[in-house]
Amino acid sequence: MDSYIEITVLPDLEADANFLMNNLCSKLHAVLGQVTMGKVGVSFPGYALAGKNLGTKLRIHGTAFMLEKLMAENWIKGLRDYCQCSAILPIPTRVQQRYFARRQVKSAHNKRLRSISKGWLTQDEALDKISDESQKLLKLPFLQLTSRGNKQQMKVFVEQGPVMDLPTEGNFNSYGLSRLSEKVTVPWF
Protein backbone atom coordinates (compact mmCIF):
# COMPACT_ATOMS: atom_id res chain seq x y z
CA MET A 1 0.00 0.00 0.00
CA ASP A 2 1.81 3.06 -1.24
CA SER A 3 -0.90 5.51 -2.35
CA TYR A 4 -4.25 7.00 -1.46
CA ILE A 5 -7.06 9.17 -2.77
CA GLU A 6 -8.91 11.57 -0.49
CA ILE A 7 -12.51 12.43 -1.28
CA THR A 8 -14.26 15.19 0.64
CA VAL A 9 -18.04 15.40 0.43
CA LEU A 10 -19.40 18.94 0.10
CA PRO A 11 -22.74 19.18 1.90
CA ASP A 12 -25.26 21.87 1.00
CA LEU A 13 -28.87 22.71 1.81
CA GLU A 14 -30.18 19.84 -0.35
CA ALA A 15 -27.76 17.09 0.70
CA ASP A 16 -26.13 16.72 4.12
CA ALA A 17 -22.76 15.06 4.76
CA ASN A 18 -24.24 11.70 5.89
CA PHE A 19 -26.42 11.44 2.78
CA LEU A 20 -23.46 12.18 0.50
CA MET A 21 -21.10 9.81 2.34
CA ASN A 22 -23.71 7.03 2.12
CA ASN A 23 -24.07 7.57 -1.64
CA LEU A 24 -20.32 7.79 -2.16
CA CYS A 25 -19.67 4.55 -0.26
CA SER A 26 -22.56 2.81 -2.03
CA LYS A 27 -21.06 3.64 -5.43
CA LEU A 28 -17.61 2.56 -4.23
CA HIS A 29 -19.02 -0.72 -2.89
CA ALA A 30 -20.59 -1.45 -6.30
CA VAL A 31 -17.16 -1.58 -8.00
CA LEU A 32 -14.67 -2.32 -5.22
CA GLY A 33 -15.08 -6.09 -4.96
CA GLN A 34 -15.07 -6.60 -8.73
CA VAL A 35 -12.14 -4.35 -9.58
CA THR A 36 -9.65 -4.49 -6.70
CA MET A 37 -9.94 -8.06 -5.36
CA GLY A 38 -9.66 -7.06 -1.69
CA LYS A 39 -6.50 -5.00 -2.18
CA VAL A 40 -8.04 -1.57 -1.47
CA GLY A 41 -9.09 -0.33 1.97
CA VAL A 42 -10.80 2.79 3.24
CA SER A 43 -10.46 5.08 6.23
CA PHE A 44 -12.51 7.93 7.65
CA PRO A 45 -10.26 10.72 9.01
CA GLY A 46 -13.25 12.49 10.59
CA TYR A 47 -14.57 9.40 12.39
CA ALA A 48 -16.26 10.32 15.68
CA LEU A 49 -18.07 8.09 18.16
CA ALA A 50 -19.78 11.15 19.59
CA GLY A 51 -22.67 11.72 17.26
CA LYS A 52 -21.97 8.43 15.42
CA ASN A 53 -20.34 10.35 12.60
CA LEU A 54 -17.99 9.16 9.83
CA GLY A 55 -17.12 12.74 8.89
CA THR A 56 -16.81 14.37 5.49
CA LYS A 57 -13.62 12.69 4.24
CA LEU A 58 -13.09 9.24 2.76
CA ARG A 59 -9.59 7.98 2.08
CA ILE A 60 -9.12 5.10 -0.31
CA HIS A 61 -5.81 3.26 0.21
CA GLY A 62 -3.95 0.87 -2.09
CA THR A 63 -1.20 0.66 -4.64
CA ALA A 64 -1.09 3.37 -7.30
CA PHE A 65 -1.89 0.67 -9.90
CA MET A 66 -5.01 -0.53 -8.05
CA LEU A 67 -6.23 3.03 -7.43
CA GLU A 68 -5.76 3.89 -11.12
CA LYS A 69 -7.72 0.78 -12.05
CA LEU A 70 -10.49 1.74 -9.61
CA MET A 71 -10.76 5.34 -10.80
CA ALA A 72 -10.82 4.21 -14.46
CA GLU A 73 -14.25 2.71 -13.68
CA ASN A 74 -15.70 6.25 -13.34
CA TRP A 75 -17.73 5.06 -10.34
CA ILE A 76 -17.94 8.55 -8.83
CA LYS A 77 -20.04 9.97 -11.70
CA GLY A 78 -23.21 11.65 -10.54
CA LEU A 79 -21.50 12.83 -7.34
CA ARG A 80 -18.73 14.99 -8.83
CA ASP A 81 -20.63 18.21 -8.03
CA TYR A 82 -20.88 17.13 -4.39
CA CYS A 83 -17.31 15.89 -3.88
CA GLN A 84 -13.78 17.11 -4.07
CA CYS A 85 -11.49 14.28 -5.19
CA SER A 86 -7.70 14.41 -4.93
CA ALA A 87 -5.32 12.90 -7.41
CA ILE A 88 -3.61 9.64 -6.49
CA LEU A 89 -1.13 10.72 -3.83
CA PRO A 90 1.80 8.91 -2.17
CA ILE A 91 1.35 7.83 1.44
CA PRO A 92 3.40 10.18 3.67
CA THR A 93 6.49 8.76 5.31
CA ARG A 94 6.32 7.82 8.99
CA VAL A 95 2.65 7.02 9.30
CA GLN A 96 0.91 4.92 11.87
CA GLN A 97 -1.67 2.24 11.15
CA ARG A 98 -5.32 1.72 12.08
CA TYR A 99 -8.04 -0.67 11.04
CA PHE A 100 -11.61 0.13 10.04
CA ALA A 101 -13.80 -2.95 10.29
CA ARG A 102 -17.41 -3.81 9.64
CA ARG A 103 -19.22 -4.67 12.87
CA GLN A 104 -22.38 -6.76 12.60
CA VAL A 105 -25.05 -7.73 15.08
CA LYS A 106 -27.63 -10.37 14.29
CA SER A 107 -31.19 -9.13 14.59
CA ALA A 108 -33.57 -10.80 17.02
CA HIS A 109 -35.75 -11.77 14.05
CA ASN A 110 -32.85 -13.58 12.34
CA LYS A 111 -31.88 -15.33 15.59
CA ARG A 112 -35.43 -16.64 15.93
CA LEU A 113 -35.52 -17.87 12.34
CA ARG A 114 -32.20 -19.67 12.74
CA SER A 115 -33.25 -21.30 16.03
CA ILE A 116 -36.47 -22.55 14.44
CA SER A 117 -34.83 -23.77 11.21
CA LYS A 118 -32.13 -25.66 13.16
CA GLY A 119 -34.79 -27.28 15.34
CA TRP A 120 -33.39 -25.81 18.54
CA LEU A 121 -36.66 -24.03 19.38
CA THR A 122 -40.27 -24.09 18.29
CA GLN A 123 -41.78 -20.88 16.93
CA ASP A 124 -43.51 -20.15 20.26
CA GLU A 125 -40.32 -20.87 22.24
CA ALA A 126 -38.29 -18.61 19.92
CA LEU A 127 -40.75 -15.74 20.36
CA ASP A 128 -40.70 -16.26 24.11
CA LYS A 129 -36.94 -16.70 24.62
CA ILE A 130 -35.54 -14.28 22.01
CA SER A 131 -37.10 -10.89 22.62
CA ASP A 132 -36.54 -7.78 20.52
CA GLU A 133 -34.93 -6.15 23.56
CA SER A 134 -32.22 -8.83 23.53
CA GLN A 135 -30.78 -7.32 20.38
CA LYS A 136 -27.59 -5.51 21.25
CA LEU A 137 -27.59 -2.00 19.84
CA LEU A 138 -24.29 -0.74 18.50
CA LYS A 139 -23.22 2.77 19.31
CA LEU A 140 -20.95 3.10 16.30
CA PRO A 141 -20.99 5.33 13.23
CA PHE A 142 -22.59 3.63 10.24
CA LEU A 143 -23.31 3.85 6.56
CA GLN A 144 -26.97 3.60 5.54
CA LEU A 145 -26.98 1.66 2.27
CA THR A 146 -29.58 0.04 0.04
CA SER A 147 -29.01 -3.63 -0.66
CA ARG A 148 -28.54 -4.24 -4.38
CA GLY A 149 -30.11 -7.67 -4.01
CA ASN A 150 -33.35 -7.18 -2.07
CA LYS A 151 -33.41 -3.33 -2.16
CA GLN A 152 -33.81 -3.14 1.63
CA GLN A 153 -32.10 -0.47 3.73
CA MET A 154 -29.22 -1.74 5.82
CA LYS A 155 -26.74 -0.24 8.23
CA VAL A 156 -23.05 -1.02 7.84
CA PHE A 157 -21.55 -0.24 11.25
CA VAL A 158 -17.89 0.84 11.18
CA GLU A 159 -15.51 0.19 14.07
CA GLN A 160 -12.29 2.17 14.21
CA GLY A 161 -9.38 0.32 15.79
CA PRO A 162 -6.55 1.73 17.89
CA VAL A 163 -3.53 3.45 16.36
CA MET A 164 -0.65 0.98 15.84
CA ASP A 165 2.94 1.28 14.71
CA LEU A 166 3.08 -1.79 12.46
CA PRO A 167 0.71 -2.72 9.62
CA THR A 168 -1.42 -5.86 9.57
CA GLU A 169 -1.67 -7.21 6.04
CA GLY A 170 -4.59 -9.02 4.47
CA ASN A 171 -7.62 -8.46 2.28
CA PHE A 172 -10.50 -6.03 2.65
CA ASN A 173 -14.18 -6.76 2.03
CA SER A 174 -16.25 -5.20 -0.75
CA TYR A 175 -16.81 -2.09 1.42
CA GLY A 176 -13.05 -1.56 1.73
CA LEU A 177 -13.26 -2.53 5.41
CA SER A 178 -11.33 -5.15 7.34
CA ARG A 179 -12.99 -8.18 8.79
CA LEU A 180 -13.09 -7.71 12.54
CA SER A 181 -11.30 -11.03 13.08
CA GLU A 182 -8.34 -9.96 10.90
CA LYS A 183 -7.93 -6.26 11.75
CA VAL A 184 -6.19 -5.43 8.46
CA THR A 185 -4.81 -1.90 8.75
CA VAL A 186 -4.54 1.15 6.50
CA PRO A 187 -2.10 4.04 6.90
CA TRP A 188 -3.29 6.59 9.44
CA PHE A 189 -2.15 10.20 9.16
Residue pLDDT, tens place only, 75-98: 999 899 999 999 999 999 999 999
In a domain, 122, yes or no: no
pLDDT at 120 over 90: no
In a domain, 156, yes or no: no
pLDDT at 108 over 90: no
Residue 134 carries which DSSP code? G
Q: What mean pLDDT, rounded, does the chain reach?
A: 90
Q: Answer yes or no: are the C-beta atoms of 178 and 99 closer than 8 Å.
A: yes
Give CA angle at 58 (78, 32), nearest 5°.
Answer: 65
Confidence label for 136 from pLDDT (cuts 50, 70 and 90): low
In a domain, 131, yes or no: no
Give the whole-angstrom CA distance, residue 42 versus residue 130.
35
In a domain, 43, yes or no: yes
Number of domains forming the structure of the chain: 1
In a domain, 58, yes or no: yes
pLDDT at 166 over 60: yes
Give me the domain span that covers residue 50: 3-103+162-188
Give the whole-angstrom CA distance, residue 126 versus residue 107.
13
CATH number at residue 95: 3.30.70.2540
